[in-house]
Amino acid sequence: MATAVPHVPPKQDLPPPGGYKKIPFARVPPKSYFTGFSMIGTYLVATIGGLGIYYLTAKKVKRDEIEMRSAENVIFPLLIAERDREFLRQLRRNRDEEADLMKNVPGWEVGTWYGEPVYKTLPEDTLVSPHFREFYAHADWKSTAKRANLKLWS
């Protein structure tokens, strides 16, 4: 059975005694840490300092560029010679591979077409640079594709 709840009158929410606090609506200016002259002075000091550091860094970069250019000029003939040596080594490897592949073919001479010279009007000791695909004939596909991309874009 339900018990009867005594009747309590509702309590109304009323303002505190003396009323609410006044709402501040007047403009409150922000605190001023720097004046205009101090900000301009700070800007000028930072700019002059930055330009000084830039000048010193630019001098060092220029000096380093001159040194690197000199080093490149010194080593360039050596790099060209090494490139040429590797080119000739690869030609020798290609000839050796051709000799190994065609050893069972009767009448086959390396560097000729069944005994006929390919270039009849050139002396025998003349080096004829092979076509790109001939040069990389015995290389793996990735190396050939990488070099072809480099050759096409340079």
Cβ contact 102:110 at 8 Å = yes
Helical H runs in 25-131? 36-101
Per-residue pLDDT, 154: 61
Identify which of 85, 144, 141 has the alpha carbon closest to the alpha carbon of residue 152. Answer: 144
pLDDT tens profile 137-153: 888 888 888 888 876 67
pLDDT tens profile 51-96: 999 999 999 999 999 999 999 999 999 999 999 999 999 999 999 9
Work out whether the CA dihedral 38, 44, 48, 50 comes out positive or negative. positive
Token look-up 């009448």 returns 107
3-state secondary structure of 1: coil
Per-residue pLDDT, 150: 75
Q: CA 144 to CA 154: how far, in whole Å?
A: 15
The amino acid at residue 147 is: R
Per-residue pLDDT, 28: 87
Per-residue pLDDT, 82: 96
pLDDT tens profile 115-142: 888 888 888 888 888 888 888 888 888 8
Nearest-10 Cα torsion for 76, 77, 80, 81: -140
The model carries a pTM of 0.56
pLDDT tens profile 13-40: 888 898 889 988 899 888 889 999 999 9
**What is the average per-residue pLDDT within 89-106?**
91
pLDDT-derived band at 1 (thresholds 50, 70, 90) equals low
